[in-house]
A and B are shown apart, each in its own frame.
Chain A
Amino acid sequence: MKIKVWDLPTRIFHWLLVLAYVGAYFTSESEWLLEYHAGAGYIALGLIMFRILWGFTGNRYARFSDFIRGWDEVKSYILRMLRSDIPRFLGHNPAVGWVVLFMLLITAVISLTGIVVYGGEEGRGIAAGFFTFKTAIIVRIIHLILADIAVVMIVTHISAALIHHFILKENIIYSMFTGYKEDMESWSERVSHMKAGEGLSVVRLVVGIFVAILGGLGLVYLPPEGKTDFSKEKMQVMDDKGFVVELKHNKKWVDECAKSCHIGFHPNLLPASSWEKLMSGLSDHFGEDVSLNENIQKEILDYLVSASAEHSVSEASKKLMYSIKDGDSPIKITDIPYWVKKHSEISDEVYKRKSIDSKSNCIACHSGSEIGSFEDRDIHIPKE
């Protein structure tokens, strides 16, 4: 006999949350998909709010009172599980009940921290204007760590569902679509020929969980290396009114600064005060006299200031600004604390490689450097 366990709202909630997670995961790496990422986060938060209410007013198996049990029951379930004598529950078992609650809460916190970061870093979303950039940077770390934990949690959740389906012969996967499970009697009749723990050992369980965690970490830490086509990318800059507009390199800058002795160091790599200091000292420019006529010098300085780190929408610019002490105006990019820390693990040997040659050859590893793009996924360190 079949018995209805998961009511329709609970099932719809479950699969919408799956979609929200999938959407958020695949839009998390790209700045350009950030709106969609944020959208998925808002949807997830709304779903969690619904699920919490439904936990009080849903059907029997959807209610917290059904699956949030005391420590004694949880302990007894875990002990029986360790002896491979796993009791069956129609709804959530006592151990997983707390995990479900944890999953709901962590999802809510991930969404909320995301909203804070979106408001603080991008100035967008319902929290725009409420949080500073500095707050957002710290909250972002929490957001990322929790998101990593969520990936591990999801992989474990799917593994557990597979264990229940294939090893314990309990049809919990289909039940999340149809809502129905076998009742206790027909199930125990069907699996009665199985000895307790048949097909399942603690070792397998441990191995399964271990693989699940490794798989989760793999998904998080092994994203595919990007191959951005920078000839097609457009540069962006924030104008004085705070609008993000397209940036085009100034022609004089290209001729004098990008086509002469060194690669073009993008204006977004130094704050305006640094560019002013640097451009007023061209007669001794890192030991060389590179004086320009007054008009060209002014035109280039104006360009540099209009696209300086303060006007940048890139993460690297914001972080290097954040690392520079108030009142400092470094003119050497490789002296900026953020640069130093970010490159601290790269040995001197790497800089000596033929295709790199010096620390100032940004473009050797950051193929988007001349358009001011330093995204992690585009870093490629040549082997020789």
Chain B
Amino acid sequence: MGQKIYFVLALAFVVLLLSNIADAGNLNAQMQSLMDKHMKDSGEKSFSAEEGGKLYYIKRMHSEKKEEISCISCHMDDPAKEGKTPVGKPIEPLSPAVNKGRFTDPEKVEKWFKRNCTGVFERECTPKEKGDFVTYMMSLQ
């Protein structure tokens, strides 16, 4: 009787583990449909993690702030690290590898794309840029 319980528990553990591995690096359904929409809007066949990485690290001169600015100004040169807002408040790591909650809520993702693209590039990001960026972040597993 007792052995049976241990067996069930062990089985449950293995199933849980496998489902986690299968889940790693994959977007959930809501995020996937957002990505599909970006894919359609951009007219691309696939997104490029490499292009997304470039977008993350590229520095440019902001026309009003008169200083060099990039994603890494706040999110740090390693997305797995804790970032810092302009007023010094910590930002949870952006990388889904260390922060499971990232890139799970399309509304939140779109909100911050809009704000931060405007903040860094002084324009909204294109569907291709967003797709590449998310692909890059998801590849950091």
Contact = CB atoms under 8 A, between A and B. Distances in A.
A361 B86 CA distance: 11
A261 interface: yes
A357 B65 contact: no
B64 A262 contact: no
Interface residues of A, number: 13
A252 to B, nearest CB: 13
Given A288-B115, A288-B119, A289-B115, A360 B87 contact: yes
Interface in B107-132: 114-115, 118-119
Contact of A262 (B65, B89, B118): B89
Contacts of B2: none
A224 interface: no
A261 B119 CA distance: 13
A222 to B, nearest CB: 33
Interface string B54-85: 00000000001100000000000000000001
Contacts of A280: none
B115 A358 contact: no
A381 to B, nearest CB: 16
Contacts, number: 31
Given A289-B115, A289-B118, A290-B115, A261 B65 contact: no
B87 A289 contact: no
A234 to B, nearest CB: 25
A287 B64 contact: yes
A263 interface: yes
B64 A261 contact: no
B87 A361 contact: yes
B43 interface: no
Contact of B89 (A263, A287, A288, A291): A263
A358 B88 contact: yes
Interface string A350-376: 000000011011000000000000000
B66 to A, nearest CB: 11
A291 B65 contact: no
Given A287-B64, A287-B65, A261 B86 contact: yes
A361 B88 CA distance: 8
A263 B119 CA distance: 19
A358 B119 CA distance: 20
Contacts of B88: 357-358, 360-361
A262 B89 CA distance: 6
Most buried by B among A263, A289, A291, A357: A289
Contacts of A263: 89
A262 B85 CA distance: 7
B94 to A, nearest CB: 14
A250 B65 CA distance: 33
Contacts of B87: 261-262, 357-358, 360-361
Contact of A289 (B65, B89, B119): B119
Nearest to A361: B88
Contacts of A260: 85
Nearest to A262: B87
A261 B85 contact: yes
Interface string A258-296: 001111000000000000000000000001111100000
Contacts of A361: 87-89
Contacts of B65: 287
Contacts of A262: 85, 87, 89
A358 B88 CA distance: 7
A291 B86 contact: no
Contacts of A358: 87-88
A260 B115 CA distance: 12
Given A287-B64, A287-B65, A289-B119, A261 B114 contact: no
A265 to B, nearest CB: 11
B124 to A, nearest CB: 10
A357 B119 CA distance: 22
B60 to A, nearest CB: 16
25 contacts: A261-B85, A261-B86, A261-B87, A261-B89, A262-B85, A262-B87, A262-B89, A263-B89, A287-B65, A288-B86, A288-B115, A288-B118, A288-B119, A289-B114, A289-B115, A289-B118, A289-B119, A291-B114, A357-B87, A357-B88, A358-B87, A358-B88, A360-B87, A361-B87, A361-B89
Q: Which 6 A-B pairs have the closest CB atoms?
A: A357-B88, A289-B118, A261-B85, A360-B87, A358-B88, A262-B87
Interface of B: 64-65, 85-89, 114-115, 118-119
